[in-house]
Amino acid sequence: MGYIACALALLDAVRALTSFTPPTALPAPGADLDLLADVLVAHGLAPLASYQVEHTRLGYGLPASFREKLLGYYQGVVNDTVMKLVTLRGALKLAGEVPVVLLDAAAYVDWLYPHAAWRPVGDVRFALRAEDGARFAAAVKPALTLDRTEHGGRVAVFTDGKIALSAQEGLWSGGPADAPLFERARSYRAFGPLAARPSPEDAVLSTVAEQAQLGLFAPLITFVDLRELVGEPLDAAYVKARASALGLSRALHGAMALLAHFYPEVAEPAAALSPELGFAERVAVDRVVDAGRDPAKLRHLRGVDAAARAVVAP
């Protein structure tokens, strides 16, 4: 099997294993299962794939070694997610009078995903207004200490000695204060009386902004986030206007192009969110997109990541 055929078989297998309604068998029986397992692990997809392999007909006939490798990550993510979310919930309940907006996996895990173990939490992040920073730090002092600040004080990292919780002012780590994020947020009282998660539109922009910080060479689990988010009722005009105001138009255009490549079933809603770019901008972004199409390409030549960030990062 040639390189292109192998790449297509791999991507088809990834799509099947990360579908919330998977097929009954891998669509590409010629996929390299060792490489497939490595790609799933590297992109944060192993827990979701493991669940589908173990609990649906998709797993029938797959080798035990493939299933066992994924299963180990599934079990580890279950424990890690519970520990992180319990720590976060405890901290936010101590600061129950301080408004916060959960971001990234902490917001998505029981909103977008049917099973908490499907979405590794990774870094625990939430938005906190600058004027509430001192009040929050004082409220959580029995459980957390301030470990450090980053990005000129726009990010504060708290810890209980085991888990780090990052508070930031805006949609992305180091981004500017963002009043609309708080104004449009949806209540999430499971984490405290004033806890919230972002509106679907702001969740799209937050995810895209974090991907842009990586030059769009982002873990595929973040594209699963976007796949599910674009299925929500969205105000496309608002998303594109906000992206323009935040300097995220190039990132949004590129992220939607990659999303349609990885998950063609959402190509139409992805296109509806993609802003128009000038010719020179579009050419530059298309080069970044082309470099990010192969999920098996886990490393890039020196300078490629930096060059991509220079094009798409806000």
Q: What is the mean pLDDT of each run of 10 residues along the chain (314 residues)?
A: 75 96 85 93 96 93 93 91 94 95 96 94 95 96 94 95 96 96 96 96 98 97 98 97 98 98 98 98 97 87 89 96
pLDDT for the residue 1: 55
CATH number (3.40.1280.10, 2.40.50.140, 3.90.1150.10, 3.30.460.40) of 94-198 reads: 3.30.460.40
Q: For residues 124 and 254, what is the distance between their CA atoms, to the nearest angstrom? A: 25
Letter string b/e over residues 79-93, b meaning 16 or more CB atoms within 10 A of that residue's CB: ebbeebbebbebbbb
Domain map of the chain by residue range? Answer: 94-198, 200-314
What's the pLDDT at 303? 84
pLDDT at 138: 96
Rg (CA), the chain: 20
Q: How many whole angstroms separate alpha carbon 82 and alpha carbon 196?
A: 19
Return the exposure string of 218-243: e unless at least 16 CB atoms fall within 10 Å of the residue's CB, then b: bbbbbbbbbbbbbeeebebeebbebb
| 3-class SS shares of the chain: helix, strand, coil, % to 5 | 55, 10, 35
Q: Taking the model in full, what pTM does it have?
A: 0.96
Give the model's pLDDT for residue 243: 98
Alpha-carbon distance of 149 to 169, in angstroms, equals 12
